[in-house]
Amino acid sequence: MTLKSNPGNFFEDFAPGDELIHPTPRTVTEADAALYVGLTGSRYALFSSDTFAQDCGLESAPIDPLLAFHIVFGKTVPDISLNAVANLGYAEGRFLRTVYPGDTLRAVSEVIGVKENSNGKTGVVWVRTTGYNQADQEVLDYVRWVMVNKRDPSSPAPAAVVPDLEPAVKPSALPRPECSASGFDFILSGSPFGFEDYEIGEKIDHVDAFTVEEAEHQIATRLYQNTAKVHFNQHEQASSRFGRRLIYGGVAISLARSLAFNGLGNAGEIIAINSGQHVNPLFAGDTVFAWSEVLDKAELGDGLGALRLRLVATKNHPCGEFPRLDAQGRHLPSVILDFDYWAAIPQRS
């Protein structure tokens, strides 16, 4: 019998230096953007209104950077994380070019690290992924690391290679957004607050909440063409540690970012990802809350600034007291996401 189906890569199949060119390219459409709003409730004006975006110097409402990120991420799943236990974290992410409806995205990854876990059944794989548009221009890049099952637990462990990653994207290395602050309308945007209104150390409870529905999660993850078994295959996940499917971590990020509109409505454009952890699992039926902390600020010039933000999402735990770590410095069981990123924001002046 000829084997034509692809079982995906297991931990033993990865080696530092490998280049993975991922199928299949995906043309992003206005329908994708509308469905993304329907699945996340995102309200950031720049990505909602052509006229608002045009007043800011763009040709039309661009694709939300997180939607572009999820689509590029989804390209990588069949090669990197089809046999994953969990996606563990992100670093060194940069959003390099505006993506518009009609652009076609593809992805290429380089394996930059591997390390077998002590149980001998799984290992961690680090990859640097770059997303390109139809003109072969880089639109985003990032590092992620994922825990992947071994095909054969008795196979020998490879030499461990753990990459040395920057703790944060330096302000001098931040991509400059293509939009202009001069036409930004602080009334229509839904928030009166600009760059100068936020202080380092300030914490914001985003107040609102979303309950995650199984059907919505399934649609969202399929929208990104993410085929990881942990999100779809209940027959297989019934025998896993949790006994049920995990909600894709990108859904948690997008829901938390949507909630962050209430308090950070003008900081809609993500320009860099410093780090991110999915620290506890999220399941259908859980309710997501979120809060943010301003970690740093940077001038971008021409009326724009950047806020470095810690976005913490919880499940079934309102965020009025800003839950994150316990007395021993460990994430609380209710925390599902600890996400450190830079967002562009206009200055009121």
**Confidence at residue 346, expressed as pLDDT on a 0 to 100 scale:** 98
In this structure, is the dihedral angle defined by the CA atoms of residues 10, 246, 340 and 303, taken in order, positive or negative?
positive
**Confidence at residue 218, expressed as pLDDT on a 0 to 100 scale:** 93
Q: How many beta carbons lie within 10 A of that of residue 302, not counting itself?
A: 13
Per-residue pLDDT reduced to its tens digit, 42-89: 999 999 999 999 999 999 999 999 999 999 999 999 999 999 888 899
Judge contact between 27 and 101, C-beta under 8 A: no
Judge contact between 286 and 318, C-beta under 8 A: no
**Confidence at residue 136, expressed as pLDDT on a 0 to 100 scale:** 98
In this prediction, residue 2 has a pLDDT band, given cuts at 50, 70 and 90, of low
Per-residue pLDDT reduced to its tens digit, 106-126: 999 999 999 999 999 999 999
In this structure, is the dihedral angle defined by the CA atoms of residues 12, 275, 103 and 177, taken in order, positive or negative?
negative
**Is the pLDDT confidence value at 338 over 70?**
yes
Average pLDDT for the chain = 96
Judge contact between 230 and 237, C-beta under 8 A: yes
Q: Hey, what domains does the chain have and what are their CATH numbers?
A: 11-346 (3.10.129.10)
**In the chain, which ranges are continuous DSSP H helix?**
30-40, 50-55, 65-80, 214-223, 229-232, 234-237, 249-259, 261-264
Per-residue pLDDT reduced to its tens digit, 179-209: 999 999 999 999 999 999 999 999 999 999 9
**Confidence at residue 1, expressed as pLDDT on a 0 to 100 scale:** 53
Per-residue pLDDT reduced to its tens digit, 225-258: 998 888 988 998 999 889 999 999 999 999 999 9
**Confidence at residue 3, expressed as pLDDT on a 0 to 100 scale:** 75
CA distance 58 to 175: 16
